[in-house]
Structure 1
């Protein structure tokens, strides 16, 4: 009852209260000056505040103070320098560490902005924006600084570490060492610390000057090796062309080429192109569908490799992680490729009964030589193009690192300078993935290691089948046991992040991935030895059973839907079971497709496009992250990734990769395949002559 009178009284006072119509006088004026605002909202301006002659030298300090006066006086040249320098963007908490500014605007500040505009068209801009130039030379530099802010999402995927990329347009008189001292002083000053809302506390690593030194480039050993290899290949190709067009057809009698001429003809461009472009004969090839399976695996690996490498050059790495991790299971993406490789190696070995009989009669020393010979043939097919790509990638990354704002290329070249020998020896997958040179080529080392292992088992099988079978089963069991033990040790959880945090132990370790490779060998042995019995098996004869098994294989290509939120032991068990089922169902699908079951899938994988592109699959796998790095870091522009753009990007990338892979395959892979085949044919001929 007392509320109503008080309410009426307050209303009357409010109505009768005098007003002077000038409410702004009651609001305190902003006491911040322009210099105060710039110190807390930019990075370049506070550098002029902390600059001292004893810190950066007289010349550099004088230029910075001249720049400071120009900014405070709003001179166009100074504002362009300020605008060309980076500042903290939004979405830092989502992983955006790119504070880059604009290298192009920094150049325009020094040389003017050359725009072809009409003088008869009205513009609101001041024309001094185009014509004003700095009274001194300026350079665009990039600062790389590490940070450990707990206010930023730091999902673990990819090889490169999280770094602040800070672009600065600074006077040329300030060298990199002086700039490092200046930026370090700024990071430690009260100006930065009082505005460090996210507790970034950056630690300066290095300063990059955007210039390419061609003289140093030509002195590199990698460059000399590339020149020698390319020159040798071109000379041999021209000589092969000469033999084809002039010498061999010059007589009416068909003359068998000598050993040297046969060697040279392995480089014949026409022959190698015809092998790739020849119409595929899928009908007579029982396992033509395996080519489609290998290409599918290569495309999946290309997808994951591509968007994992993108992490270092996108402004939304957290969203990219979400997109990639929700698409499929990277854990088993390469398992089909490994399974097919094991299958084909075993098939080419076991189907040659005469070779098996010959090996069975060899003594121990001759058996060891046979293993060395078979391993050399695999080396001859893998190494030349691989070594060439190591050199080419290093040189391209070295150039790219000198001209791009991103640190990814420099990270790759640093690892290759220190650890290239691991790649040459095919052992780089045995070391920590953060130290790998060309980390995406881990599968090449794995392939060579498995080739040696399976070759030993196959030679043992020719002499003592029982021991070979026991060894193979023990290795497969050891693989599953290893994955289980490591999963428990590292507190495994089914996640893309877990894969990268433990990449060396779980993903690239030979014992962790040998199960599918040996699974492919076991599948081939079952097909060659027991296919007649398998054809009467209900699992194979009943279409429903075959489809159900294949359905399990398809489901396993996705992340385990029931494997999240449980204990470490349960998730590890699901993870190992997942990999095991994926390999077993894939092997059974191969046997079913070879026996005309799953015909619809077999016809799809036997399509002509897969049969043709399989020849370039190796070059494509070596090229994919290299191309994406060169394409998206060359322009020094950030990439914002979202699903539709990812899809369009992937389609375009596949087209570019196939175009680039063709000449690499023809010139640097096919000749050595031909040499391997030539040596394989010459061996039996020599043995026949000696006998």
Structure 2
């Protein structure tokens, strides 16, 4: 009987314990669910910087600006939609707010295509066959946000031990893209982004030990302001002027042709008016056949044409790499592979420019010394007459090169404004196309004296060097024709001096193009 009592008592105790354990387990599960929910929300805010920045902005309830208050209201709607798993919010955090791969190799572009932000307002559709069963959410492609959104870029200076610190012309920046409500002022988003990354809440930021400071921000879109920019106005004036001159030249040719039909051709051919020679420079019917002419003059050194073509294409290949580096997401990998032996023909193409210097020097010397009439004129002239002739040569070369250089300067300034305005990439005063300050150095052919960060049209250093070489060595050739002994002495002395200076510059800096 005692045994049964103990057995009954034990069963009752175990039943009570089991019931209490069940209740505790239920409560523990609820607590876990709450904790998991909190961790999921916190984890999302710490992994997706779009959500983290939105959380910052959503708390701005007491702002004076009505725009900021409306922005905070929209951001709270977005965060609620993220918590409830609404499709349009999931699409936003799927496309934006994530750190891409290969940060160590230089991928600083933390943004997706701006079209994916536009998809939140105006959905992109895919035509799917209705006869095939699918598990896809039916509203996946056509869900839109309850407020308008747009794409905004925020740019950061940064330091990290987990990425090679290359000393390039273009200082690298971390460029993040955000899909935010249209109501949000650009400055407010930038401020919230700065505070979010200052708190070091972003988990990848802690993993890579990244310190970030905002530099600038923009909403990349094409604006009508571009039509009032200096580059566009000057470019338009040049195009209109050249087109007008080409039209006048065409009218002149038509009138001259009609007169030749009614008058003596020889008489019409000899009749000219002031400015006719200048207008003929813009005549399409005269200049296009000359450009397309395939026959070379007898004194032309044909091998030079092939040599210049090959080297020009070679240098162009290097420039394609170099001048598009600001858009590359694996710049460090490019530098690493560029040091392999097989890549040397491309990445050492900068030394092939010496071929152009050699060809230019050869042609200048060959054309001048082979012209017996010009040589005799220089020999018979006095020093003042030769000085006038020398200045004539120099001015002629300046007039040959400068018009195209001016057009390139203006077009580059216009292109810079377009790219800076409409692209997501960060362009500053160190960019190759930036010519709003130091353009006059380029026009005076002295821009090779500037540092590469301050140079306008960095590739135009070659024109400056060639112009300076032309002025210097043309004077030596004149002296050589007038007095061979003095000319040879000056040439040898200048060659030794230039070689010594070049060696000392290279030796003191070791590498004249540091990265």
Determine if contact 2:433/2:457 at 8 Å carries over to the other structure: no
When the two chains are superposed, the root-mean-square deviation of aligned CA atoms in Å is 2.6
- 1:161 positional shift: 1.7
Q: In structure 2, which of residues 169, 177, 181 is the aligned counterpart of residue 171 of structure 1?
A: 181
Structure 1 partner of 2:3:
none
Instruction: Report which stretch shifted further, 404-413 or 171-180.
Output: 404-413
The answer to whether residue 335 in structure 2 is matched with residue 293 in structure 1 is: no
Structure 2 partner of 1:642:
none
Q: In structure 1, which of residues 184, 192, 215 is the aligned counterpart of residue 194 of structure 2?
A: 184
Q: In structure 2, which of residues 503, 506, 514 is the aligned counterpart of residue 487 of structure 1?
A: 506
Equivalences for 1:21-420 in 2 at 5 Å?
31=36, 33-51=39-57, 52-53=59-60, 57-156=68-167, 159-192=169-202, 195-214=205-224, 216-248=225-257, 249-250=260-261, 251-254=263-266, 255-256=269-270, 258=272, 260-281=275-296, 284-285=298-299, 287-325=301-339, 326-328=343-345, 329-408=348-427, 412=431, 415-420=434-439
In structure 2, how many angstroms separate the alpha carbons of the residues matched to 1:366 and 1:176? Answer: 65
In structure 1, how many angstroms separate the alpha carbons of the residues matched to 2:194 and 2:462? Answer: 41
In structure 1, how many angstroms separate the alpha carbons of the residues matched to 2:488 and 2:453? Answer: 37
What is the CA deviation profile of residues 487-537 of structure 1, one whole-angstrom value per residue up to 9, with x for unaligned ones?
2222x2xxxxx45328xxxxxxxxxxxxxxxxxxxxxxxxxxxxxxxxxxx
- 1:116 positional shift: 4.1
CA spacing shift, 1:138–1:174, aligned 2, 3 Å: same
What is the CA deviation profile of residues 636-676 of structure 1, one whole-angstrom value per residue up to 9, with x for unaligned ones?
xxxxxxxxxxxxxxxxxxxxxxxxxxxxxxxxxxxxxxxxx
- Greater helix fraction, Structure 1 or Structure 2: 1
Determine if contact 2:413/2:433 at 8 Å carries over to the other structure: no
What is the CA deviation profile of residues 529-553 of structure 1, one whole-angstrom value per residue up to 9, with x for unaligned ones?
xxxxxxxxxxxxxxxxxxxxxxxxx
- 1:352 positional shift: 2.0
- 1:114 positional shift: 3.6
Determine if contact 1:144/1:206 at 8 Å carries over to the other structure: yes
- 1:343 positional shift: 0.9
In structure 2, how many angstroms separate the alpha carbons of the residues matched to 1:315 and 1:150? Answer: 18
Instruction: Report which stretch shifted further, 244-253 or 41-50.
Output: 244-253
| Structure 1, gaps ≥5 residues long | 1-24, 493-497, 503-691
In structure 2, how many angstroms separate the alpha carbons of the residues matched to 1:124 and 1:444? Answer: 63
Determine if contact 2:49/2:98 at 8 Å carries over to the other structure: yes
Structure 2 partner of 1:447:
466
* TM-score, normalised with respect to structure 1: 0.63
In structure 1, how many angstroms separate the alpha carbons of the residues matched to 2:87 and 2:223? Answer: 32
Determine if contact 1:398/1:410 at 8 Å carries over to the other structure: no
Determine if contact 2:106/2:332 at 8 Å carries over to the other structure: yes
Instruction: Report which stretch shifted further, 40-49 or 231-240.
Output: 231-240
Instruction: Report which stretch shifted further, 32-41 or 160-169.
Output: 32-41
Determine if contact 1:176/1:208 at 8 Å carries over to the other structure: yes
- 1:195 positional shift: 4.5
Determine if contact 1:156/1:500 at 8 Å carries over to the other structure: no
Determine if contact 2:480/2:487 at 8 Å carries over to the other structure: yes
In structure 2, how many angstroms separate the alpha carbons of the residues matched to 1:467 and 1:277? Answer: 44
- 1:200 positional shift: 1.6
In structure 1, how many angstroms separate the alpha carbons of the residues matched to 2:135 and 2:437? Answer: 55
Instruction: Report which stretch shifted further, 481-490 or 48-57.
Output: 48-57
CA spacing shift, 1:409–1:275, aligned 2, 3 Å: farther
What is the CA deviation profile of residues 37-93 of structure 1, one whole-angstrom value per residue up to 9, with x for unaligned ones?
212221101112333426783222222222111111111121222223242112111
- 1:334 positional shift: 0.3
- 1:107 positional shift: 0.5
CA spacing shift, 1:194–1:128, aligned 2, 3 Å: closer
In structure 2, how many angstroms separate the alpha carbons of the residues matched to 1:89 and 1:276? Answer: 49
In structure 1, how many angstroms separate the alpha carbons of the residues matched to 2:382 and 2:464? Answer: 30
Structure 1 partner of 2:7:
none
Determine if contact 2:479/2:486 at 8 Å carries over to the other structure: yes
CA spacing shift, 1:400–1:194, aligned 2, 3 Å: closer
In structure 2, how many angstroms separate the alpha carbons of the residues matched to 1:380 and 1:471? Answer: 28
In structure 2, how many angstroms separate the alpha carbons of the residues matched to 1:193 and 1:85? Answer: 16
Structure 2 partner of 1:12:
none
- 1:362 positional shift: 3.8
Determine if contact 2:416/2:433 at 8 Å carries over to the other structure: no
- 1:319 positional shift: 2.7
- 1:241 positional shift: 2.4
In structure 2, how many angstroms separate the alpha carbons of the residues matched to 1:339 and 1:276? Answer: 25
What is the CA deviation profile of residues 105-141 of structure 1, one whole-angstrom value per residue up to 9, with x for unaligned ones?
1101022234444545544321322222111111101
- 1:290 positional shift: 0.7
- 1:463 positional shift: 2.8
Determine if contact 1:311/1:320 at 8 Å carries over to the other structure: no
CA spacing shift, 1:409–1:292, aligned 2, 3 Å: farther
1:101 match: secondary structure: coil
- 1:305 positional shift: 0.9
- 1:397 positional shift: 2.4
- 1:99 positional shift: 0.9
Structure 1 runs, 4 residues or longer, greater than 6 Å off: none
2:53 match: secondary structure: helix
* TM-score, normalised with respect to structure 2: 0.84
CA spacing shift, 1:460–1:474, aligned 2, 3 Å: same
Structure 1 partner of 2:17:
none
CA spacing shift, 1:220–1:361, aligned 2, 3 Å: farther
The answer to whether residue 471 in structure 2 is matched with residue 456 in structure 1 is: no
In structure 2, how many angstroms separate the alpha carbons of the residues matched to 1:186 and 1:468? Answer: 70
Determine if contact 1:429/1:446 at 8 Å carries over to the other structure: yes
Name the structure, 1 or 2, with higher relative contact order (CA <8 Å, separation 6+): 1
In structure 2, how many angstroms separate the alpha carbons of the residues matched to 1:102 and 1:253? Answer: 65
